[in-house]
Structure 1
Amino acid sequence: MFGFIVFIIPAAIILLHIDVLITVCVFLPLLCVVGLAQAMRQRQQRLRAASREATGLLTGAIGEIFSSVQAIQVAGAEDYAVKHFHRLSQIRQRQILRDTVFFSALQSIFGNTVGLGTGLILVLAALYRHLSPGDLAIFIAYLSTITKFIISAANLIAQYTQTKVSHQRLVDLLQGESQEILLQNDPLYLKKPVPALHTAVKTTVDRLALLKVANLTYRYPDTGRGIENISFQLQRGTLTVITGRIAAGKTTLLQTILGLLPRDAGNLYWNDRLIEDPAHFFIPPHSAYTPQVPHLFSDTLEENILLGLHKAPAEMQQAIQLAVLADDVDKLEDGLQTIIGTRGVKLSGGQVQRTAAARMLIRESELLVFDDISSALDVETESRLWQQLLQQRQRSCLVVSHRKAVLQLADTIIVLQAGKITAMGTLPELLTTSDELKRIWHGTV
């Protein structure tokens, strides 16, 4: 584009010197094409946004289907899931077709407008302006480059409009972070080997004695809901359980503590030391986190636990034993080398959760953060898991759960309602003083 501009300036001067009227007419298609491109920007932006949204819905549905295969089979909803996927595919097909046809039509209009305009100019020049053969040759020679410039300028405007939609979708994912993050460069190891994974060595400074949460607040920008003025302390070797009804803010609280959501107010302290950047601090060896739906990959079970770490077989076996996964591994056809499929589709819900627990345990972090990890476990397996996790009281656990087995083992229970702490204490205390915990305990919420 820069080369075109450098060429156009002296070319325009030469053409103006030959014939001002024809030269002005040469550039009229440029104005028409640019004007058309500008006029169509909003419509093109709406079509591109609709096609991207339809694609997002379809890919999201694919992820949900793969992560809920067992639930779909149990409910006998295979036909419904296929129909839902087919419907979303048709919506995406229509939206992308509209976007593609509109963009192609614009490109065709740009090219034809310029071609017809320049052809008309040459006819007028030959009939009425009586240009010399040399002047006519110059016009013809320069018109080719000017035509390319016009079409390139119009296409650039159209492509900019499409790119703006994609850029805005990326900005939305940043959740308020600086857009400069999108420009950061990281190496891609496509042809050369990936370097060895660097793991921080735990020191005495990393040892957790007390985690303090002070007046922590976060609200979602679109709804204004979230958590407000959350304060509590977690001591080493204890189990702290956050409980509450659906949408009380439990997961939001965990993610705000870990820096996965940007806090609006409040502070976090590790052994009375202020944590400036929770997102970079709450990683091994300080903490490890398992979300409600653990993320597994289509690789071996072993690699899903290690994720690039190099651990001795004895350490792997210990993590598997603690996660109550040893019996399941023995039953798998290839043991730890079993390929578990996309998102762990070959594993049961309980096996997925315990695989995620083993992934946490092998990193030997000071603080283990679980978001309802035992929801898919039977009572016996759940009891064994928590007993093994807490038997030595060397691990500190922050857990979201409403399960009785976990509440009974908790040293401290935090009851959330509408993003605020309404009660905090031990189970016997709260069963006496908290109506909300009574309802949770008796399953009436």
Structure 2
Amino acid sequence: MNTKGLIWSLIKYTPGLYSLNLILAVFGWTLFLVPAYVSGAFFDVLNSGSPEYTTIIQIIIILFTGQFVRILLITVNIPVDVTFKNKVGALLRTNMLKQIFAMPAAQALNKSAGEAITSFREDVDDTVTFPGYSSLLDVIGAAVFSLAAFVIMLRIDVMITLIVVIPLIIIMTILHITGKRIVKYRVNSRHSTDAITGFIGDMFSSVQTIQLTGSEKHVLARFAKLSKVRHKFMVKEAVYTSFLNSIFTNIVDIGAGVILLLAANSIRNGNFTIGDFAVFTYYLTWISQLIKRFGSLSAQYRQVNVSVERLQSLIQEKMADKLVSHNESIMDDQLPEYKSSATNRDRLKKFTVNDVTFTYPQSNKGLKNISFELERGSVTVLTGKVGSGKSTLLKTVVGHLPLTSGSIKWNECEITNNDNKFESSYFSYAPQLPVLFSESLKENILLGCQATNEQLHRVIDITELNGDIQNFKDGIDTVVGPRGASISGGQKKRTSLARMLLRDMELLVMDDPTAGLDLNTELRVWNNIVEMRGTKTILVSSHRPYVLQHADHIIVLENGEIIEQGKSEQVLEWMKNNQYL
């Protein structure tokens, strides 16, 4: 979708609001016709030799009334415009998030975190500002006013009025010549902003590592270098934009000066009255502003092109049309209802992974021809050496990585959709590295799930978080900090595990969920999990002897392939005989 199509779709999202915005902008500009009429009439009355003071007072009243109405229009116009920009901005951001969440995790974000943040912030803001009151609507209003003024000026003097067009032609020529450089400077400034935003995020999330390795000076030097690069590109763009605006202003002012000299000559020749000259001068001032505004808008449009391309590349080109889908946005009051587990007709009997292959891009590593079955109520453990493919297999099972080939079935039904992403209502997943938000412990466990206090305390008991919560100053409402920085690694693990269990799914997928726990806590958590055998189907990766001994089925991986699988007694004997692990 090109920039024009995207802008038009945003306008159609709130047609009533945008129409009101347009009407207010145009009406506000047309009120500038009033002072010109007033000044013309005023000077003609004064020049008549016997001015009537009543007429002068009427003219002054008309002038002040027009200005007062214009102030009222601006007072209404600004909140209308802000509401429009917020609504369409929320729509863009909502659709971006939806498309990112709709893709497999490995493909969801093809840009760095810094690029994504800049796109969500600056690129969206630039895009939604363009059709608004301060940009496009301002020029449209000025154009309507200028058209009416141009007609009046033609009636006064055709030749002088036509000269007004010359500065516009010169400005358009300059824009055509400088267009590529405008785009180049905007791309460079955005990329430099991406780099420093991403670095700041990485820096704040790695404070402990930076301190422990004594890398503070190196990190600050890197930050200073990125700042200098961004400063250079931002200054270049700002200077170049100001330079163009200065050229536009001077071209317009020189043109206006020439026109006024010609108009003064017409007064001397008797072709202009003093009132005509006042009207002509007033209109010329604002028409000159239109020409300058049009030049700035054209330059801004080229910058918006860059923003639109960056937004579309963030969610991948094939999904670009969905960027402006007219759906509910994050500004809507009603949040979508959380959907819990699968329906009864979807109850798990058998989960089948059939000949699954996955290869990492630009690598021959991954999974090769993986096949196994999970019976309802069983505990299956994936084990193997470091780098054998355990986490990769689990991510493939839950749809975070797309299948290169093969199939995954829930009972006899294949559970991939058209985008090769699995429906989350089939399972719960606890990743190897827990992800927490800077919210309370309770909110991190719930994460949108509508659960009762009884359900919440049940998963807290299973994950042995009770003692930790009692020691927290604010209990379960304790804020865990960015990425859980204020709690321990073991507490993060168990919070992620509690979040998974709260979803109450039939299939629980866990990637080494108790790594980092002390031995006693780990054994208690595993005892609690194993007690769910029969009601839940569990697929877990681990190399802990305790976990392997409580498995129904064990799968051994090496270099992305299954080298042994079967009942736990059989595989444990094989591992003992081969001195594996």
Which TM-score band applies after superposition, normalised by the shorter structure? 0.7 to 0.9
**Alpha-carbon distance in structure 2 between the residues aligned to 1:391 and 1:352:** 22
Q: Which amino acid aligns with 1:169?
A: R
Instruction: Tell me the amino acid that sits aligned with residue 289 of structure 2.
Output: K
Match for residue 56 of structure 1 among 167, 177, 194: 194
Normalised by the size of structure 2, how large is the TM-score? 0.61
Letter matched to residue 191 of structure 2:
E
**Match 1:304 to one of 444, 448, 454:** 444
Does 2:465 align with 1:318? Answer: no
| SS of residue paired to 1:112 | helix
Cα distance in 2 between the residues matched to 1:41 and 1:415: 57
- Write out aligned runs for 1:6-405 (5 A): 6=144, 22=160, 25-78=163-216, 80-123=218-261, 126=264, 132-133=271-272, 140-175=281-316, 177-184=318-325, 185-188=327-330, 195=335, 197-200=337-340, 202-214=342-354, 223=362, 231-235=370-374, 236=376, 237-241=378-382, 254-255=394-395, 257-260=397-400, 267-277=407-417, 282-284=423-425, 286-371=426-511, 373-378=513-518, 381-382=521-522, 384-393=524-533, 394-399=535-540
Deviations 1:25-44 (A, max 9, x none): 42232233233334333333
Query: Do the aligned partners of 1:301 and 1:338 also contact (CA within 8 Å) in 2?
Result: yes
Task: Give the greater-gyration-radius structure (CA).
Answer: 2
Label 1:375 to 1:304 Cα distance change in 2 as closer, same or farther (>3 A): same
Kept after mapping to 1: 8 A contact 2:383/2:542: yes
Given the superposition, is the C-alpha separation of residues 27 and 216 from structure 1 closer, same or farther in structure 2, using an over 3 Å criterion? farther
| Cα 1:403/1:250, change in 2 over 3 Å | same
Instruction: Please report how far the alpha carbon of residue 133 of structure 1 lies from its aligned counterpart in structure 2 after TM superposition.
Output: 1.7
Q: Over residues 352-388 of structure 1, what are the superposed CA-to-partner deviations in whole Å (9 max), with x where a residue is unaligned?
A: 1221111111111222334554554456555554453
Deviation at 1:266, TM superposition (A): 5.0
8 Å Cα contact 1:239-1:409 kept in structure 2: no
Q: Which secondary structure state, in structure 2, belongs to the residue aligned with residue 116 of structure 1?
A: helix
Whether the 8 Å CA contact 1:243–1:414 is kept in 2: the answer is yes
Which amino acid is the alignment partner of residue 107 of structure 1?
Answer: N
Q: Is the 8 A contact 1:214 1:229 kept in 2?
A: no
Structure 1 residue 5, shift from structure 2 partner: 4.6
- Specify the SS of the correspondent of 1:133: coil
CA distance in 1, matches of 2:525, 2:318: 38
24 and 226 in structure 1: CA distance in 2 versus 1, 3 angstrom threshold: farther
Deviation at 1:306, TM superposition (A): 1.4
5+ residue gaps, structure 1, are: none
Structure 1 residues 309-359: Cα deviation after superposition (integer angstroms, max 9, x where no partner): 343333223212322433332332332122211221101222212211111
Letter in 2 for 1:164: N
Residues 47-82 of structure 1 deviation map (CA, whole Å, 9 limit, x = unaligned): 333333333333333333443344444445455545
Query: Aligned AA for 1:203?
Result: T
The worse-fitting range, judged by mean Cα deviation, of 12-21 and 325-334 is: 12-21
In percent, how many aligned pairs have the same letter?
Answer: 35
| Offset from partner CA, 1:128-150 (integer Å, 9 cap, x none) | 99793267666545434432332
Deviates more, 1:72-81 or 1:43-52: 72-81
The 3-state SS of whatever aligns with 2:505 is coil
CA contact (8 A) 2:341 2:503 kept: no
Cα drift, residue 155 of structure 1: 2.2
Distance verdict in 2 for CA 1:249–1:175, change over 3 Å: farther
SS in 2 for 1:158: helix
Paired residues of 1:268 and 1:275 also in contact (CA < 8 A)? yes
Contact residue 389 and residue 557 of structure 2 kept, 8 A: no
| TM-score, length of structure 1 as denominator length | 0.76
Which amino acid counterpart does residue 106 of structure 1 have in structure 2?
A: L
The question of whether the paired residues in 1 share the 8 Å contact of 2:556 and 2:565 is answered with yes
CA contact (8 A) 2:400 2:421 kept: no
Change (3 A) 1:301 1:30: same
The alpha-carbon distance between structure 1 residues 338 and 7, as it changes in their structure 2 partners (threshold 3 A), is closer
Distance (Å, rounded) in 1 between the aligned partners of 2:359 and 2:317: 12
Query: Gaps spanning 5+ residues in structure 2: where?
Result: 1-138
SS of the residue 1:269 aligns to:
strand
Q: Is the deviation greater in 51-60 or in 132-141?
A: 132-141
* 1:405-420 equivalence runs, <5 A: 411-413=553-555, 415=557, 417=559
| 1: CA distance, partners of 2:385 / 2:243 | 55
Aligned residues: 430
Does the aligned pair in 1 maintain the 2:154–2:161 contact within 8 Å? yes
Instruction: Pick closer, same or farther for the CA change 1:409–1:273 going to 2, 3 Å.
Output: same
* Change beyond 3 A, Cα 1:392–1:165: same
Alpha-carbon distance in structure 1 between the residues aligned to 2:510 and 2:270: 83
Paired with 1:317 and 1:32, the residues of 2 have a C-alpha distance of 73
Structure 1 pair 8/92, CA: closer, same or farther in 2 (3 Å)?
same
Rounded to whole Å, the distance in 2 between the matches of 1:314 and 1:392 is 17
Rate the CA distance shift 1:226–1:158 in 2: closer, same or farther, 3 A: farther
Q: Which has the higher helix share?
A: 2
Q: What SS does the corresponding residue of 1:178 show, helix, strand or coil? A: helix
Per-residue CA distance 1:273-293 (angstroms, 9 max, x = gap): 132527875324x22234454
SS for the counterpart of 2:164 is helix
